[in-house]
Amino acid sequence: MTDVVVERLGFAPLQLLDLWGDPGGVQQVLGHALPPVGRAEGGVLRTGPTSWLIEGEVSALKAAISGDGAIAAVGGGLLRVRLSGPNWRSLLMEGGLFDFESPAFTTDCVVITVIDHVSVTLRVEGPDSCLAYVPASHAADLLHFWQISAGGLPQ
């Protein structure tokens, strides 16, 4: 067995924010600037040029958007999974299309990539863990793939 733990965290209150106007009101509600592409801050992950995945309560954000964007609940569609241990990066290289072992892929980096034919959003939590947002419809298969792959990784 390798030093990788695949931990199913379950579903969380997640919203997808698309913002095509002035971000000032949203940033004021959040208390910080929206993170740039490929980065996360607090419970906010930048997932595209005008899109962010937000974990937590967003009722105050709805008023701040004010016709300059849209927000939609997606929490039931994405299962959160934590990959942890010294070999989590090697596990993601199995079936992945991104260089997870790059030193530039560090804490609070975010990437959306394909792993074993599934589009997955990943956020580096720290040197020994990564949070994956996996589509619920593919979660069982991807978790099984990770568990099988983790058992076959070199020590």
> Which residues fall within 8 angstroms of residue 74, CB to CB, at 6 or more apart?
14, 15, 16, 53
Query: Could you give the percent of the chain with pLDDT greater than 70?
Result: 97
For residue 143, how many other CB atoms are within 10 A of its CB?
Answer: 17
**What pLDDT is stored for residue 115 in this prediction?**
93
Has residue 153 got a pLDDT over 70?
no
Please check whether residue 1 is in contact with residue 151, taking contact to mean a CB–CB distance below 8 angstroms: yes
Task: Flag whether pLDDT at 154 surpasses 80.
Answer: no
Residue 63: Cβ-neighbour burial (10 angstroms; 0-12, 13-18, 19+) = exposed
Residue among 32, 64, 143 at smallest CA distance from 151: 143
pLDDT, greater one: 66 or 44: 44
Name the amino acid, one letter, at 10: G
Domain residue extents for the chain? 5-11+77-150, 14-75
- 64 has pLDDT over 60: yes
Structure tokens at 112: 């959306």
pTM over 0.75: yes
What CATH class has 5-11+77-150?
Answer: alpha beta
Quick one: which of 113, 108, 123 has its CA closest to 93?
113
Quote the pLDDT of residue 150.
Answer: 86
- pLDDT tens digits, 109-146: 999 999 988 999 999 999 999 999 999 999 999 999 99
pLDDT above 80: residue 59: yes
Confidence bin at 3 (pLDDT 50/70/90): confident
The amino acid occupying position 56 is G
Q: Which residues contact 35 (CB under 8 A, 6 or more apart)?
A: 41, 44, 45, 46, 52, 108, 110
